[in-house]
Chain A
Amino acid sequence: GESVGLHLPTLSVQEGDNSIINCAYSNSASDYFIWYKQESGKGPQFIIDIRSNMDKRQGQRVTVLLNKTVKHLSLQIAATQPGDSAVYFCAESFTGNQFYFGTGTSLTVIP
Protein backbone atom coordinates (compact mmCIF):
# COMPACT_ATOMS: atom_id res chain seq x y z
CA GLY A 1 0.00 0.00 0.00
CA GLU A 2 0.94 3.64 -0.17
CA SER A 3 2.82 5.28 2.63
CA VAL A 4 0.98 8.18 4.17
CA GLY A 5 2.71 9.35 7.29
CA LEU A 6 2.24 12.00 9.89
CA HIS A 7 5.07 13.98 11.40
CA LEU A 8 3.66 14.15 14.94
CA PRO A 9 1.62 11.43 16.60
CA THR A 10 0.31 13.78 19.33
CA LEU A 11 -0.39 17.47 19.56
CA SER A 12 -1.58 19.53 22.52
CA VAL A 13 -2.85 23.10 22.09
CA GLN A 14 -4.47 25.68 24.29
CA GLU A 15 -8.10 26.46 23.67
CA GLY A 16 -8.35 29.40 21.30
CA ASP A 17 -4.97 28.82 19.68
CA ASN A 18 -4.53 27.66 16.10
CA SER A 19 -3.60 24.01 15.42
CA ILE A 20 -1.53 22.69 12.56
CA ILE A 21 -1.48 18.99 11.75
CA ASN A 22 0.94 17.75 9.13
CA CYS A 23 0.96 14.82 6.76
CA ALA A 24 3.49 13.49 4.26
CA TYR A 25 2.46 11.37 1.32
CA SER A 26 4.67 9.29 -0.91
CA ASN A 27 2.81 8.85 -4.19
CA SER A 28 3.31 11.77 -6.53
CA ALA A 29 0.43 10.45 -8.63
CA SER A 30 -2.08 11.04 -5.82
CA ASP A 31 -4.57 13.59 -6.99
CA TYR A 32 -7.16 13.80 -4.24
CA PHE A 33 -6.69 14.22 -0.51
CA ILE A 34 -9.04 14.20 2.45
CA TRP A 35 -8.72 15.03 6.11
CA TYR A 36 -10.81 13.00 8.53
CA LYS A 37 -11.62 13.56 12.18
CA GLN A 38 -12.16 10.56 14.45
CA GLU A 39 -13.63 11.04 17.90
CA SER A 40 -13.29 8.36 20.52
CA GLY A 41 -15.53 5.38 19.82
CA LYS A 42 -16.69 6.69 16.46
CA GLY A 43 -15.82 6.22 12.83
CA PRO A 44 -13.80 8.82 10.91
CA GLN A 45 -15.74 11.80 9.61
CA PHE A 46 -14.96 13.90 6.56
CA ILE A 47 -13.59 17.36 7.35
CA ILE A 48 -12.24 18.84 4.15
CA ASP A 49 -10.80 17.73 0.84
CA ILE A 50 -8.46 19.12 -1.77
CA ARG A 51 -7.57 18.15 -5.30
CA SER A 52 -4.08 18.22 -6.69
CA ASN A 53 -4.85 21.17 -8.97
CA MET A 54 -5.24 23.35 -5.87
CA ASP A 55 -2.78 24.34 -3.16
CA LYS A 56 -5.19 25.72 -0.60
CA ARG A 57 -8.79 25.19 0.38
CA GLN A 58 -10.73 26.75 3.21
CA GLY A 59 -13.71 25.54 5.16
CA GLN A 60 -15.32 26.65 8.35
CA ARG A 61 -12.39 27.20 10.76
CA VAL A 62 -10.28 24.71 8.79
CA THR A 63 -7.79 25.20 5.98
CA VAL A 64 -5.96 22.52 4.06
CA LEU A 65 -2.66 23.31 2.35
CA LEU A 66 -1.11 21.09 -0.30
CA ASN A 67 2.52 21.31 -1.33
CA LYS A 68 3.03 18.92 -4.20
CA THR A 69 6.70 19.75 -4.54
CA VAL A 70 7.52 18.15 -1.20
CA LYS A 71 4.43 15.93 -1.06
CA HIS A 72 3.12 17.52 2.08
CA LEU A 73 -0.37 18.19 3.34
CA SER A 74 -1.40 20.19 6.37
CA LEU A 75 -4.62 20.89 8.24
CA GLN A 76 -4.99 24.16 10.05
CA ILE A 77 -7.71 24.60 12.65
CA ALA A 78 -8.41 28.14 13.73
CA ALA A 79 -9.41 29.03 17.29
CA THR A 80 -9.22 25.43 18.45
CA GLN A 81 -12.05 24.34 20.71
CA PRO A 82 -12.39 21.43 23.16
CA GLY A 83 -14.70 19.74 20.67
CA ASP A 84 -11.79 19.59 18.23
CA SER A 85 -10.03 17.04 20.43
CA ALA A 86 -9.82 13.90 18.30
CA VAL A 87 -7.53 11.88 16.06
CA TYR A 88 -7.00 13.42 12.64
CA PHE A 89 -6.15 11.33 9.58
CA CYS A 90 -5.07 12.34 6.14
CA ALA A 91 -5.93 10.10 3.24
CA GLU A 92 -4.70 10.10 -0.35
CA SER A 93 -6.17 8.66 -3.48
CA PHE A 94 -4.70 8.18 -6.93
CA THR A 95 -6.96 5.66 -8.57
CA GLY A 96 -10.50 4.41 -8.42
CA ASN A 97 -12.21 4.68 -5.09
CA GLN A 98 -9.38 3.52 -2.90
CA PHE A 99 -7.92 5.75 -0.25
CA TYR A 100 -4.74 5.22 1.72
CA PHE A 101 -4.69 6.48 5.28
CA GLY A 102 -1.99 7.81 7.53
CA THR A 103 -1.54 6.61 11.10
CA GLY A 104 -3.26 9.63 12.65
CA THR A 105 -2.40 12.54 14.95
CA SER A 106 -4.08 12.83 18.31
CA LEU A 107 -5.07 16.42 19.04
CA THR A 108 -5.75 17.41 22.65
CA VAL A 109 -7.21 20.82 23.40
CA ILE A 110 -6.35 22.17 26.82
CA PRO A 111 -9.12 24.34 28.30
Chain B
Amino acid sequence: NAGVTQTPKFQVLKTGQSMTLQCAQDMNHEYMSWYRQDPGMGLRLIHYSVGAGITDQGEVPNGYNVSRSTTEDFPLRLLSAAPSQTSVYFCASNTKGRAYGYTFGSGTRLTVV
Protein backbone atom coordinates (compact mmCIF):
# COMPACT_ATOMS: atom_id res chain seq x y z
CA ASN B 1 0.00 0.00 0.00
CA ALA B 2 1.89 3.06 -1.26
CA GLY B 3 -0.44 5.73 0.20
CA VAL B 4 0.09 9.09 -1.50
CA THR B 5 2.89 9.22 -4.07
CA GLN B 6 4.32 12.47 -5.37
CA THR B 7 6.74 12.96 -8.22
CA PRO B 8 9.24 14.46 -8.73
CA LYS B 9 10.82 14.96 -5.29
CA PHE B 10 12.95 17.88 -6.47
CA GLN B 11 12.64 20.24 -9.42
CA VAL B 12 14.37 23.39 -10.60
CA LEU B 13 12.56 25.53 -13.15
CA LYS B 14 13.40 28.70 -14.96
CA THR B 15 10.98 31.61 -14.73
CA GLY B 16 8.25 31.20 -17.33
CA GLN B 17 8.57 27.42 -17.69
CA SER B 18 5.61 25.17 -17.10
CA MET B 19 5.48 21.80 -15.42
CA THR B 20 3.16 19.30 -13.79
CA LEU B 21 3.54 17.91 -10.29
CA GLN B 22 2.13 14.43 -10.11
CA CYS B 23 0.11 12.98 -7.25
CA ALA B 24 -1.43 9.53 -7.00
CA GLN B 25 -3.15 7.70 -4.14
CA ASP B 26 -4.17 4.07 -3.90
CA MET B 27 -6.53 4.31 -0.92
CA ASN B 28 -9.67 5.11 -2.93
CA HIS B 29 -9.96 8.43 -1.14
CA GLU B 30 -12.56 10.79 -2.54
CA TYR B 31 -10.92 13.98 -1.34
CA MET B 32 -7.55 15.20 -2.59
CA SER B 33 -5.79 18.50 -2.13
CA TRP B 34 -2.62 20.40 -2.86
CA TYR B 35 -0.81 22.51 -0.29
CA ARG B 36 2.28 24.62 -0.42
CA GLN B 37 4.55 25.02 2.57
CA ASP B 38 6.64 28.13 3.00
CA PRO B 39 8.88 28.96 5.97
CA GLY B 40 6.90 30.54 8.80
CA MET B 41 3.59 30.28 6.96
CA GLY B 42 2.41 26.76 7.59
CA LEU B 43 0.50 24.86 4.95
CA ARG B 44 -1.70 26.80 2.56
CA LEU B 45 -4.36 25.20 0.40
CA ILE B 46 -3.96 25.69 -3.35
CA HIS B 47 -6.69 23.53 -4.90
CA TYR B 48 -8.79 20.62 -3.82
CA SER B 49 -11.11 18.02 -5.25
CA VAL B 50 -14.01 16.21 -3.61
CA GLY B 51 -14.17 13.55 -6.31
CA ALA B 52 -13.38 12.72 -9.91
CA GLY B 53 -14.41 15.55 -12.22
CA ILE B 54 -14.81 18.08 -9.38
CA THR B 55 -12.19 20.64 -8.39
CA ASP B 56 -12.25 23.92 -6.53
CA GLN B 57 -9.93 26.69 -5.48
CA GLY B 58 -8.30 26.98 -2.11
CA GLU B 59 -6.58 29.86 -0.41
CA VAL B 60 -3.77 30.50 -2.95
CA PRO B 61 -4.88 29.20 -6.39
CA ASN B 62 -3.34 31.82 -8.69
CA GLY B 63 -0.77 30.43 -11.11
CA TYR B 64 -1.89 26.83 -10.66
CA ASN B 65 -4.32 24.54 -12.44
CA VAL B 66 -5.64 21.13 -11.45
CA SER B 67 -7.78 18.39 -12.94
CA ARG B 68 -9.25 15.19 -11.52
CA SER B 69 -10.04 12.73 -14.29
CA THR B 70 -9.70 9.68 -12.02
CA THR B 71 -10.11 9.01 -8.31
CA GLU B 72 -6.42 8.09 -8.04
CA ASP B 73 -4.70 11.04 -9.71
CA PHE B 74 -4.65 14.75 -8.98
CA PRO B 75 -1.91 16.58 -10.93
CA LEU B 76 -0.96 20.19 -10.22
CA ARG B 77 0.12 22.32 -13.17
CA LEU B 78 2.24 25.43 -12.98
CA LEU B 79 1.37 27.44 -16.06
CA SER B 80 4.27 29.93 -16.08
CA ALA B 81 6.61 29.47 -13.15
CA ALA B 82 7.57 32.47 -11.04
CA PRO B 83 10.15 32.78 -8.24
CA SER B 84 7.25 33.32 -5.80
CA GLN B 85 6.25 29.72 -6.48
CA THR B 86 9.45 28.41 -4.95
CA SER B 87 8.13 26.21 -2.18
CA VAL B 88 7.56 22.68 -0.98
CA TYR B 89 4.36 21.22 -2.38
CA PHE B 90 2.36 18.54 -0.62
CA CYS B 91 -0.46 16.46 -2.00
CA ALA B 92 -2.91 15.01 0.49
CA SER B 93 -5.96 12.79 0.44
CA ASN B 94 -8.67 11.66 2.83
CA THR B 95 -12.11 10.13 2.94
CA LYS B 96 -15.32 12.13 2.95
CA GLY B 97 -15.69 11.69 6.66
CA ARG B 98 -12.76 13.93 7.64
CA ALA B 99 -11.66 11.45 10.25
CA TYR B 100 -7.93 11.27 10.88
CA GLY B 101 -7.38 14.22 8.60
CA TYR B 102 -5.15 13.86 5.63
CA THR B 103 -2.64 11.36 4.41
CA PHE B 104 0.19 13.40 2.96
CA GLY B 105 2.70 12.61 0.28
CA SER B 106 6.40 13.17 0.91
CA GLY B 107 6.46 16.47 -0.96
CA THR B 108 8.01 18.10 -4.02
CA ARG B 109 10.64 20.74 -3.43
CA LEU B 110 10.38 23.26 -6.26
CA THR B 111 12.85 26.04 -6.95
CA VAL B 112 12.12 28.66 -9.60
CA VAL B 113 15.13 30.68 -10.70
Contact = CB atoms under 8 A, between A and B. Distances in A.
Nearest to B98: A97
Interface in A17-69: 32, 34, 36, 41-46, 49
Q: Chain A interface secondary structure, helix, strand, loop or mixed?
A: strand
Contact of A1 (B33, B44, B101): B44
Interface residues of B, number: 28
Contacts of A98: 33, 45, 48, 58
B104 A45 contact: yes
Interface residues of A, number: 24
B76 to A, nearest CB: 15
B107 interface: yes
A42 B102 contact: no
Interface string B27-55: 00001010100001111110010100000
**In the A-B complex, the 4 residue pairs with the closest CB atoms:** A43-B104, A101-B43, A34-B101, A101-B42
